Amino acid sequence: MKAVILVGGQGIRLRPLTTNLPKAMVPVLNVPFLEHVFRHLRRHRVTDIILAQHHLAGPIESYLGDGSRFGVKVTYVIEDSPRGTAGAVKNVERYLDEAFLVLNGDIFTDLDITAMVELHRRREAVATIALTPVEDPTAYGLIETDVRGKVTRFLEKPDWSEVTTNMINAGTYVLEPEVLARIPAEREVSIERMTFPLLVESGEPVYAYPSSGYWMDTGTPEKYLQLHRDLLGGRSARYSPPPSGGVRIGEGCDVHPSADIRGPALVGDNCTIGPGVKLMGPVVIGERCRIGEGSVVEDSVLWWEVLLGERVTVRSSAVANNCRLESGSHVDGSVLGDGVNVLPGVRVESGSNVQSGAVVA
């Protein structure tokens, strides 16, 4: 079975982390997001992958190549203009001649793909939609089903008085090729708001596959940080935190004996952790970071080659590549894009999104 992964979005909600990097390449536990998706597909013996691309396509192909070093085969298809979720699938139609998977490129999930495909075949469905429960379904589109799991109605962002279920579209689908005939060519079309409702209204067999496994839409900085908290906390079956104190140190690191590292923490290769540094988990430190004497990093994610001077504090924040936080600076509850320079003693207040290349004085 082939899998189509939708990676053409601009990642607007995730900016400034996605200013210079496609959303699918944003690091999760120091590995590009797409690599996690590939591993999950490979576990379910899906190794023929089509990437439906548009925005910032170059970095993805440069990193993945033909996919062979990740145990998959990758085909790249670039849209000349945004096509929406259904239009992107229509744009790769020439590669699809049997049942196939579709995955949104910003969902991290433990979904049992094998079981979902088996249900799709058993029900002789034209489309099967993965569902996941959420606490607040009013922010999403609800999917109602009958007792056999056949989809009967879609309800987009309902009021609480309209809520009949907490199961929402989980962003993974199994589709038969005939669904492609229902999607107009060379147009922006939503599979969630247009294609699926059309199939249901036409009486086609559309089924749901409910899953209680871990699920996270990583589309915002808040959810991106929460994903790391969850993974480091062992809430997903796809990552096992290290047993010994919950701390994993990469190769070639120079960690001063007086540094205090409390898990869960993941430190990438070739990092320098200075005297008196405190890493208070959950923390992820990317490769080649340097953290100066007396600095504190707590509940945060640092990407690659981040430099923290002496007595710097970073709490509940995401810091992108090549940032420089000079001595005595303080970053709290914020997101810094690539190459941000925070000058000595400056405080970046909670809720700030600092654009790439900015100097904060």
**Residue with the two structure tokens 């691309």:** 53
- In order of 64, 89, 120, the CA distances from 2 in angstroms are 17, 12, 15
Which residues are CB-neighbours of 93 under 8 A, at least 6 positions away?
A: 180
In the chain, DSSP finds a helix count (H) and a strand count (E) of 6, 31
Each residue's pLDDT tens digit, 97-151: 999 999 998 899 999 999 999 999 999 999 999 999 888 877 777 888 998 999 9
Query: What was the pLDDT predicted at 20?
Result: 85
Phi/psi of residue 37, each to 5°?
A: -65, -45
Residue count of the chain, please give it. Answer: 361
* Tokens describing residue 30: 């120091």
User: What whole-number distance in Å separates Cα of residue 8 and Cα of residue 136?
Assistant: 27
pLDDT in tens, 161-215: 777 778 888 999 999 999 999 999 888 899 988 999 999 999 999 999 999 899 9
Contact 124, 204 (CB under 8 A): no
Q: Domains in the chain, start-ordered, CATH in brackets?
A: 2-219 (3.90.550.10), 247-360 (2.160.10.10)
Question: Of 23, 73, 157, 278, which residue is the catalytic one?
Answer: 157
Backbone angles phi and psi of 27, in degrees to 5 = -70, 135
Output the average pLDDT for the chain: 91
Residue ranges in the chain assigned as alpha helix (H): 33-43, 57-64, 84-90, 113-122, 196-201, 221-232
Percentage of the chain lying above the pLDDT 70 cut: 98
* pLDDT at position 11: 65
Is a pLDDT exceeding 90 seen at residue 232?
yes
Told to judge if 73 belongs to the known catalytic residues of this protein, a careful annotator would answer no
What whole-number percentage of the chain has pLDDT above 90?
69
pLDDT at 151: 94
* pLDDT number for residue 242: 76
Q: Is the pLDDT of residue 82 over 90?
A: no
**Residue 81 pLDDT class (50, 70, 90 cuts):** confident
Spatial separation of the C-alpha atoms in residues 310 and 325, rounded to whole Å: 9
Give dist(CA 299, CA 279) in Å, integer: 9
**Band (317; pLDDT cuts 50, 70, 90):** very high
